[in-house]
Structure 1
Amino acid sequence: MTPPRFSVFTPSHKTRYLDECYASLRAQTRGDWEWVIVLNGNARWRPETPDERVRLVVADDLTGVGAAKRRACEEARGELLVELDHDDLLASTALERLDDAFRAHPEAALVYSDTAQITEDGGRDESRFDEAAGWEYDDVEVDGRSVLRAPCRRRRTTSPTSGSRRTTSAPSPGRRTSAAATTTPPAWSSTTRTSCAASTASGPSITSRRCSTSSGCTG
């Protein structure tokens, strides 16, 4: 079997939003992906309709989000690793733009994107990080959803270095990843923020929920 171009991976101990995660994957303009879901903390989920691209790994013995991500990456078969937190959504063109970015920059080991927050019920989140620290925002529409974008490329802080923090994912040698580091500003110190990414083009490639379950792993 030919390996997929993309291995999307998701550790999860709470399955509330996995149906929506899955819907955002099925809506991708690129279909050559697999989704590796590492379930722990007695969490259980499966798609309503069987999909050979979805691979479920039950690992109740794992503790710590780093261990769960490592396990997911060990199970991945694709060339590009794409981290999708269990309460986030991918824009429909995320994988396509990710592929474009890596082909345009073959020397790159990691690619990241703008992000946008939504509320737990999927509505627009008007919350903002401290703009005095360099955060800037603008209004965009992604897949018919109005969101407040935080462009990575405009930050005046040290955001480019954030892309080096995902060492817990432990991709295999030669494998590239689109996982960007989570940033946790003081105002939202209890909430995990943006994770998975694609290219740095004109809009956010991931929509992240403002809730406290983003880490996707117990322990």
Structure 2
Amino acid sequence: LSENAQQSRSVVKVVTDSIHRRTTTLGRAVDPGMFRTYPEDGQWLHPLTFVNVIVTILAICGFLRLARSSLDVYVWMTPFYVVLLLVLPYGAGTRLLLPVMPVVWLSLYELFKERSWQKNAIMVLLVLHLIITVGRVVSMYPHELQRHQEWPIIDTLAQSVDQIDPQRQATWAYLGMDSDYVSMLSFSRNRLIVPFNPESQAQYIVVVGDTQRPQNYQWIQSVENYHLLELKTQ
């Protein structure tokens, strides 16, 4: 009985976390300026979660109105797609929600179209969201360009790592490395590289620039500003 109760609680947690994750995603996609907000799973009392839940409820109410007045396959496909998203155990950002975002906006429009000021508010919200998003893209362009230019170095670094560990069985960690470049290196190697933890004693470490190196590691090789270190053998 205890095991069954524990399994039930586990299932409930998975479901509630998934619902929280999708409401957060919807809020990020609809509310202006919130596309970079990330409340942790299960934080139902977080202020942003409160906003996201309201947006989700409004979208659902609007969709019910839209579905009653439309036989469009695209509209009726949306609930099945949303159920699929609820089953997925990971967030994946807003990218998976993009296919149904037109239906979301139509649902909100359907909900508020009866009053002109509410309809105008939806249009203002959409335009404001677009302006903020474009501004964010423009402001991030130099960073994205710099990151793109870093790819040859990351690929060379990945090749060096694979030469040191051709079987790809050793644990690699990073220290002082930007999260974007960590993702790029993991992608280039098709292997995960984890944050450095002194207690885990990773066999190899990628250290950036003048970052202080752990004492029990020795230098092997450098690629531009990246240094490869190996755990010293006793």
Question: Fold-level match, TM-score > 0.5?
Answer: no
Higher helix share: 2
Indicate the structure (1 or 2) with the bigger Cα radius of gyration: 2
TM-score, normalization: structure 2? 0.21
Higher strand share: 1
TM-score, normalization: structure 1? 0.22
